[in-house]
Structure 1
Amino acid sequence: MQQVNIHEAKTHFSRLIARVLAGEEIIIARAGQPVARLLPVTGSTRQRTPGSARGQIKMAADFHHPLPDHLREEFEK
Structure 2
Amino acid sequence: MGFPCVLEAFTSIFKTGSISNKCCGELFVLGKVCTLENPLFKYVSPATIIAQSIQTWNNCLALIDSPSPSA
State the TM-score, normalized to the length of structure 1: 0.23
Higher helix fraction (1 or 2): 2
Question: Highest Rg: 1 or 2?
Answer: 1
Question: Which of 1 and 2 has higher RCO (CA within 8 Å, sep 6+)?
Answer: 2
Higher strand fraction (1 or 2): 1
